[in-house]
Each structure stands twice: as structure tokens, then as C-alpha cells.
Amino acid sequence: MTLTLNVVVLWLVYFFLLPDTMSGQVFVQRMVLGSGISLVLGLVICWLRTQADLRPTTQLQAQAGSQAQKQISHSKSTLAKEHQEKINELAAPFLLHESHELQTSVEGEAEDDERVGQLFGNYRVVQLLGKGGFAKVYLGEHLHLEKHLAAIKVLRPELPYKFKVDFLNEAQCSLELRHPHIVRFIDFGVKEGIPFLIMEYLVNGTMRTRHPKGSCIPIETVVSYAKQIANALQYLHEQKLVHRDVKPENILLGARGELLLSDFGIMVEAHSTGSLVEQGFAGTVAYMAPEQIQKLPRSASDQYALGVIIYEWLCGTHPFENVEGPPFADRNLKMQYHHLQTPPPALHDQFSSISYAVERVVLKALEKDPKDRWTSVQAFATALEQANQHTSVTVRIPSLRRPSLLSSEQPLTTDHPPSKDDSTSIK
């Protein structure tokens, strides 16, 4: 309609501009030419009007789009805020004094002295015992019970609330654990927004202080140690829990020389092979099983860690301490590579006093595939004890994949290396 109106108006203008005197033939030619010009000009005018009409529409669309984007961002911000509020509600006891969280290392050192004399529950801080990346441990004396001492584990105040929630999880799990080879936890509380955990004080220190790196321990002693730690780990596994940080520093010595497992800060729920849940990367790399490095820890991961510890105790070095491999600038990356790819060196080759039967039991616990390890950590400790007790025993041990070791039907004795003509047995 608009185009037709434009053409008619233009044609009329053209018609009135024609001269009055001209022949009929010229008049027809001029009329045809005028109609064509009117049509072209009408199209141009229509296009210009269309552009003029579209410009406000485009601006409105842009404004609407911008408004919608703002609404979406606002919705996301609102959801994130609500999620944050839920998390803060969970960690509310720890967030009461955020002003204490941002402290420099110098202030942290000064705080160690300031803590002396402070009260945590029914215990008064006597002195600093030690500190790590996440917490500091103080010696505490009971206010009312004379000479009753305890260790007070206090989370570093500068850590984010996530660590405080994890600390709460450790406290809840730890206080429910009851086992003769697990450190006894006494109480949990929050002081000025900082969570703390009170546990029994073990004056004899850790297995790392008792047996520093490079120490070789007699096999009889190692077997006794293995049975105690395996007993504690088996208890955890039966509770559907995985420790994830079994190492000498987390094994304490009791008053009667017994071993006690400690530090359950990164313990997680165990899952079956068919329902494994990816966890965060946590643990001490030197003792991490291949599947734990891949963030899929399970009960067999603790068995692997105990296997590394026993290997160290027997020969004085970590299985991969002196193993050649691709050059890595980072020591942790190198260790991860060996855990994932490198078979551990044979124990007997390093110390001839270590029997082949014991070697085989330990190396089985260090298999890369968790399915190839012992059926349980308790079975591992039992096999180690039996291998040490007998020079020739008869238990079927599935073959390892190391080419130098035996198949499940081949014999093994403690006085000569494995060969195809040997006959084995561990009871």
C-alpha cells in the first residue's frame, strides 16, 4: 500500500511537470519513463522508511536483551548467594570471627606464644608440640584432673571455611571411632570461631621420629607393626571408611609401645568398585596408590600405603627413591609417575636377609591394579606374618606381573630366588 501511494504521488508530480505542447508519441514515451522513475523512487522511499522503522526496533531489542542478561546475571547471583548462605549456615560456628582469619606468618608465630595459658574446653595450653599446613598441636593440661594431659589440635585460623567444615567432619568421624590401635579422641569445640580437637597425648611421638628415614627394622618388629596398623585399618574399612593418608608421621607410639593410627582429616567414605566416586586429590604423594592419584581411592589404597611403609622399614628406602625415570622438575610429579608406571625394585636384591617369601607378600600389596592386591589389609598382614614364620609354606599367591617373579603355581622358598622349579607354600 505504501509503495503504491508513493508511485502515484511521484507520477502525478511528474505529470504536472510535463510541457503542454508535445506530440502524442513523445507524450507516451514521457509517461512510460515517468512511471519507471516513479516506481524506482517509490522503492527507495519505502526502503528508507523501513530502515527508519527498524532502527527503534533494533534498539528496543538490544535494550530488551541487555535487560534479560541483567536479569539472568541477577538470578545467578541470587542463587549463588543462597548457596553461599547455606554453606555459611553449615559453617556458622567457624565464621563468627573472620577478623582473626587473615594473619601473616609473623603474627602466626606470635600467636603460638599467645596460646600458652589459653583454655580449650577443660584444658589449658602448656606449650606448642608441633604444626603442619592445616593445624597446630598443643600440649594441654586438665583444669581439674591433676597431671592429666591431652593434645589439642587447633586449625589454622587463616584457612578458608572449607577447611573448617572438613575439620568438623574429621571431628565427627574421629569421636565415633573406638579401637585399641586408633588414637582416642576426647572432645571437640570452637573457640573464637576456630575449631579444635582434643585427643589423648602420646609422649613417645610418631613412627617417623622413632625410626627416621634410612632406618632398617628387623622383620620380626615389622611384622608386629604391620599387624597393629592393619588391625586399625581393617576396622576403618569395615566402617566403610578410607583413611587416605597412612604414613609413618600419622602412626603414633603409645605408652606401652603399641602403635596407634591418627589424623583422619581427609578420610572419606569407601565405595565399591562399581560405584566409585571421584574425590579430590588428597594425601601424601610418597604413599599414594595409583588409583588414589587418579582421585578414586578405595580400601585397597590404604593397603598400598601400608605396603610402601613396610618396604621402607625393611630396606631403609622408599621403593622409588633411587629408581631411574623420565626427568621431572617437580619431585611429586616424579613420584606420581613411578606409582603409576614403575614396578618397585625387588627387596631381596637390596638386602639378602629379606626372604623371597616376604618380598613376594610385600610386592603383592604394591600392585598397580587394586584388584591384584590382597583381598584385605588384614590378609596382607597375616600373609606377611606367615611368610616370616616359615621357610617353606603353602598358600596360593596369585602371580605378580613382574617378569622376574613367579606364577601362582610356582614354588617359593626363603633361601633361594624364585625359579620355575621351585615349590611354594605359605599357610
- Reading the block at residue 189, the C-alpha cell is 569445640
pLDDT reading at 89 higher than 60? no
Same domain, 121 and 223: no
Residues 346 and 287 in one domain: yes
Look at residue 244 in the predicted model and tell me its pLDDT: 87
Residue 195 lies in a domain: yes
Query: Of 53, 112, 187, 245, which residue is the catalytic one?
Result: 245
Q: In terms of domains, do 328 and 287 share one? A: yes
pLDDT of residue 264: 77
Query: Has residue 310 been placed in a domain?
Result: yes
Beta strand pairing call for 119-120 and 135-142: unpaired
Any domain includes 22: no
| Window from 186-195, 322-331, 404-413 with minimum mean pLDDT | 404-413
Q: What's the confidence (pLDDT) of residue 420?
A: 38
Higher per-residue confidence, 3 vs 153: 153
- Mean pLDDT to the nearest integer, 232-246: 92
For residue 218, being part of any structural domain is answered with yes
Name the helix (H) or strand (E) containing 112: helix 105-115
Same domain, 157 and 303: no
CATH number of 159's domain: 3.30.200.20
Mean pLDDT of the region 206-210: 94
Calpha distance 48→85 (Å, rounded) = 55
Tell me which of 137 and 397 has the higher pLDDT: 137
pLDDT class of 1 with cuts at 50, 70, 90: low
Residue 156 lies in a domain: yes
Q: What mean pLDDT value characterizes the chain?
A: 75
**CATH number of the domain encompassing residue 346:** 1.10.510.10
Measured from the Cβ of residue 197, the count of other Cβ atoms closer than 10 Å reads 26
For residues 416 and 232, what is the distance between their CA atoms, to the nearest angstrom? Answer: 34
Cell match 523512487: residue? 41
pLDDT in tens, 166-175: 788 778 777 8
Which single residue is written with the C-alpha cell 507524450?
27
Q: Which of 200, 224, 257 is the last residue of a domain?
A: 200
Say whether 245 is catalytic. Answer: yes
How far from chain centre, in Å, is Cα 405?
A: 34
Total count of domains within the chain: 2
**Among the ranges given (64-68, 206-210, 329-333, 364-368), the one the predictor scored with the smallest mean pLDDT:** 64-68
Confidence of residue 397 (pLDDT cuts 50, 70, 90): very low
Among 167, 200, 233, the domain-final residue is: 200
Compare 168 and 34 and report the one with higher pLDDT. 168
Closest by Cα among 372, 371, 396, 369 to 383: 396
User: Rounded CA gap, 19 and 39, in Å?
Assistant: 21
For residues 349 and 388, the answer to whether their CB atoms sit within 8 Å is no
Mean pLDDT of 281-306: 89
pLDDT of residue 253: 94
Where does the pLDDT of residue 406 fall: very low under 50, low under 70, confident under 90, or very high at 90 and above?
Answer: very low
Give the pLDDT confidence of 336-388 residue by residue, as tens digits: 999 999 999 999 888 888 999 999 999 999 999 999 999 999 999 999 999 99
Helix, strand, coil percentages for the chain (3-state, nearest 5): 50, 10, 40
**Residue 246, pLDDT score:** 94
- Residues 217 and 348 reside in one and the same domain: yes
Q: In terms of residue numbers, what domain contains 174?
A: 111-200
Contact in structure between 312 and 299 (CB atoms under 8 Å): no
Strands 194-200 and 241-242: unpaired
| Residues 172 and 218 placed together within one structural domain of the fold | no
pLDDT attached to residue 115: 86
pTM here? Answer: 0.64
User: Who wins on pLDDT, 322 or 390?
Assistant: 322
CA distances from residue 109 to 42, 103, 131, 181 in whole angstroms, order as listed: 86, 10, 11, 33
Q: Are 346 and 321 part of one and the same domain?
A: yes
Among candidate residues 200, 216, 250, the one where a domain is terminated: 200
Say if 265 falls within a structural domain: yes
Do 186 and 224 sit in the same domain of this protein? no
Residue 92 binned pLDDT confidence (cut-offs 50, 70, 90): very low
Tens-digit pLDDT profile for residues 70-81: 554 554 455 445
Provide mean pLDDT across the span 210-238.
Answer: 95
Question: 357 and 296, same structural domain?
Answer: yes
Q: In terms of domains, do 137 and 225 share one?
A: no
- What's the rounded Cα separation, in Å, for the pair 349 and 319? 12
